[in-house]
Structure 1
Amino acid sequence: MAVISETSAAIGRPIGWLRTHERAADALLAILLTMVSATLHLLDLDTNDKFRSPTWWTTLLIIASVLPVVWRRVAPIPSGLFVVGAQVAAAFLDIDGTGFLGVVIALYAIGAYSAGQRRTNALWMISVSLALLFITGVAVGVLDVGSFVSSTVILVTAFVLGDNLQRRRERADSLIERAERAEREHSLIAQQQVNAERTRIARELHDVVAHSVSVMVIQAAAARRNLTTSPDVATLALDNIEATGRQAMDELRGILGVLRTDSSGSADAPDRRAPQPTMAEIATLIESAADLPLTHSITGNLDDLSAAVTLTGYRMLQEALTNVRRHAGPVTDVQLTIEHAGSHLAIAIADDGRGAAADNLGPGYGIVGMHERAMAVGGSVTAGPRPGGGWRVQITLPATPRAPAGTGRTPYSGIVQASQ
């Protein structure tokens, strides 16, 4: 087997070299044809005295009927006309060489490397010249009807093969160009989707951070006003400021890792004034998925998670259920598991749909957005086919606790009342 492989490689190297050095390949072909034609002409193998004896000018005419094929790629029409003209002249003058081999190659080159009206005009000139030659040969008895038909078929076939080669080459180039254009457009759309998702994440986290700063400002004012009259109230306010500041710093640290580069989001998008959904509202999301055979299991308390994590988890779960509707096809079981244990929040969505065999119904940038959201809070996402069929999405988020509250869900509510 090794010997066969080495032999195939040795044979493939010259062929590969000829494909990458087209001008050199044409030169070698022209030299070979010229040598064969001139040798056959000079040997004068004709025993019936049907052809003219070789002389210097007949040899030049034979060379002129094959040597111009060296320019068959760069100038197919001029070289083809020259070859056909020389061959027709040699045939009328009864000069023997390699026959119409040069004409066959010239017609193939015209079909493969030329186009437009110039090619049409050249074909008309060549057709008229060869038709006159063949008709004359049949008329004087030098050429029979069978030879006329077979020669015509060979010449027409050479041109058709060349034309088909050119059409296949143009079609291949068009497919390559379309594939490259589609890849560029896909990359551009993907980048736009990523930028849009980053902008949305930044807007949502901006709301959270702005809320934290507002809390800190209000509690700082309350602490200042109660510093001398109610030290305990002032101390509670300072504790809440510290906790809120730490939470805001954690959220900023997570978003800066994703949005360190510039995002080209639209500044004209309307602000979202409505409260953002959280994991605590998971029941509403499950109720809205009544069109899916959804079974769910929730373990742990979801109320003590940070705003960034709860918002991210809700949105990612929402996207996963949307992907089930779009790509899974007919499903009989969709399993949702949410587990808050220790320092992590785990969300798993699995279905028994088409999985990896699903049709490509769209760009499919939902997973990209989920990865961006998970990265923003230091989490991760894995998605792919599951054993036995279907698709599974596994989301892991850090379960950062909320800042400690004062006397209710709003950590500064009691402080504001005391300061007033």
Structure 2
Amino acid sequence: MRIDRTRLHDTLLAVVVAGVSVALFVLYGPDRLQAEGIAVDGMRAPDSFGAVLVVLACVPVALRRRWPLSALCATVVPETLLAVFGYGAGISCLAGLVLLYSVASYRGLAVALGGLLVSLVTYTLGAVAGPARVASWSEHVVVAVVLVAVWGAGRSLRLRRAYLEELKDRAARLERAHAADTRAARAEERSRIARELHDVVAHHVSVMTVQAAAARRVLAADPDLAREALSAIEHTGRLAMTEMRNIVGVLRTDSRADARAELGPQPGVRDLPLLAEQMREAGLSTRLQAEGEPRPLPAGVDLAAYRLVQEGLTNSLRHAGAGAKAVVTVRYEPHELDVRVEDDGVGAAGLSTRSGHGLVGIRERVALYGGILSIGPLPGGGFEVRARFPLKDGQ
């Protein structure tokens, strides 16, 4: 449809150019030129044959976009015949100007220069072959300037069109790059949320499972102790739901709410005493000790340290065995934060059972902040999860 409309427009333009050219051919005959004081020497009066030649010179305008240079060359024969038969040079110059503009606008520089040369040669041949009137050098210069100006206008349009196409292509590339960045950011965010959810669910569900087992064992013998265990389960469940709601809420809020969610309070080293108390209630004897002078930590390192302790204690609760003890050590050094979780449980025998998705996620967290993670059994028995986070500028 687009090609058909283009051909239709060019055909209509050819009809208009032919009509105007024939009208000028009829109106500006030798009598009219003499009446205006223009010297005419042997110029032939307009007739039907000359009008046909004028129309033939305008017909190629209909092909100006598809074959512009060929159409321009096709006008050379009728224009030369008009000059040879004495009708005067430049009778059909309007069609030549349109085709010269089309060549400059729709073809490369080499072809465009060839079109300009064809136009100049055609005018020169017409002026030499049919000297119907003596033209001054100034008139020839004006015609040459007009031809060059029309050619320059066509080249300017082509360059502008190419510039706009480049802008569109650049905008499309930027849009594709932005879409790729958005997909990568979303994938990273999904990975982060998956790690957060795993840490929250694994820890709280493990605590609730241990407490439920304890409540079941003492339900008949000591209902009050069972009631305390059930209350602890309820409290742990509420904590889990609150953390999960804060994490998943990011997925269904707008951008400003996302920013508020990202800036919202996250658990950190300051919350380790509450975590240790929760683990003691679940049946894991947990001791928390701090070494060095505590100081504010970067938010990412603070959260990663908390999640590491949470995952380490959760694994100790699951795998260390009954009566095991855990020690959490947070050491503040000048340029490093050392976080260590140790237990005296199963030890090397439980190494294969302690390498789950949670520890893999902790490894990713520690690597994200340039830390060093070591996980494995202790020489004298037990298991250790340790991470060292580098701190910059005294943080």
Q: Is the 8 A contact 1:36 1:98 kept in 2?
A: no
- Report the residue type matching 1:106 in the other structure: L
1:411 aligned counterpart, secondary structure: helix
- Report the residue type matching 1:180 in the other structure: A
- In 1, distance between residues paired with 2:190 and 2:277? 29
Kindly report which structure 2 residues correspond to 1:75-94, keeping only aligned pairs within 5 A, or say none: 75-94=67-86
- CA 1:212–1:103: 2 relative to 1, 3 Å: same
Matched, 1:198 2:187: no
Matched, 1:145 2:12: no
Looking at CA atoms only, which structure, 1 or 2, has the larger radius of gyration? 2
- CA 1:416–1:201: 2 relative to 1, 3 Å: same
Q: Is the 8 A contact 2:83 2:129 kept in 1?
A: no
- CA 1:121–1:99: 2 relative to 1, 3 Å: closer
- In 1, distance between residues paired with 2:41 and 2:127? 21
Q: Is the 8 A contact 1:72 1:79 kept in 2?
A: yes
- CA 1:150–1:123: 2 relative to 1, 3 Å: closer
Task: Find 1:233's aligned residue among 225, 228, 233.
Answer: 225
- Structure 2 counterpart of 1:349: none
- In 1, distance between residues paired with 2:127 and 2:28? 23
Which is worse superposed, 75-84 or 88-97? Answer: 88-97
Q: CA deviation at 1:29?
A: 3.1
- Report the residue type matching 1:416 in the other structure: G
Task: Find 1:26's aligned residue among 10, 18, 41.
Answer: 10
Q: Is the 8 A contact 2:18 2:59 kept in 1?
A: yes
Number of residues of Structure 1 aligned to a counterpart in Structure 2: 270
Task: Find 1:51's aligned residue among 29, 32, 43.
Answer: 43
Matched, 1:413 2:277: no
- CA 1:70–1:115: 2 relative to 1, 3 Å: same
Gaps of 5+ in 2: 32-39, 268-272, 286-321, 324-395
Matched, 1:41 2:25: yes
Task: Find 2:93's aligned residue among 100, 122, 126.
Answer: 100
By relative contact order (CA 8 Å, sep 6+), the higher-ranking structure is: 1
Q: Is the 8 A contact 2:196 2:247 kept in 1?
A: no
Q: Is the 8 A contact 1:30 1:66 kept in 2?
A: yes
Q: CA deviation at 1:417?
A: 6.4
* 1:197-250 alpha-carbon deviations (Å, 9 max, x no partner): 232122123212211011112212322333344433322112111221233234
Structure 1 or 2: more helix by fraction? 2
Q: Percent identity?
A: 34
- In 2, distance between residues paired with 1:105 and 1:415? 91
Q: CA deviation at 1:187?
A: 3.0
Kindly report which structure 2 residues correspond to 1:343-362, keeping only aligned pairs within 5 A, or say none: none
TM-score, length basis structure 1: 0.54
Q: CA deviation at 1:62?
A: 1.0
- Structure 1 counterpart of 2:351: none
Q: CA deviation at 1:155?
A: 0.6
Kindly report which structure 2 residues correspond to 1:167-246, keeping only aligned pairs within 5 A, or say none: 167-246=159-238
TM-score, length basis structure 2: 0.57
- Structure 2 counterpart of 1:385: none
CA RMSD of aligned residues (A): 3.8
Gaps of 5+ in 1: 1-20, 261-366, 382-394, 400-404
- In 1, distance between residues paired with 2:164 and 2:55? 36
* 1:16-61 alpha-carbon deviations (Å, 9 max, x no partner): xxxxx65554334322221232234345631256322334332211
Q: Is the 8 A contact 1:209 1:251 kept in 2?
A: no
Which is worse superposed, 60-69 or 85-94? Answer: 85-94
- In 1, distance between residues paired with 2:87 and 2:133? 17
- In 1, distance between residues paired with 2:121 and 2:245? 82
Q: Is the 8 A contact 1:198 1:259 kept in 2?
A: no
Matched, 1:247 2:231: no
Q: Is the 8 A contact 2:106 2:158 kept in 1?
A: yes
Q: CA deviation at 1:163?
A: 0.7
Q: CA deviation at 1:174?
A: 1.0
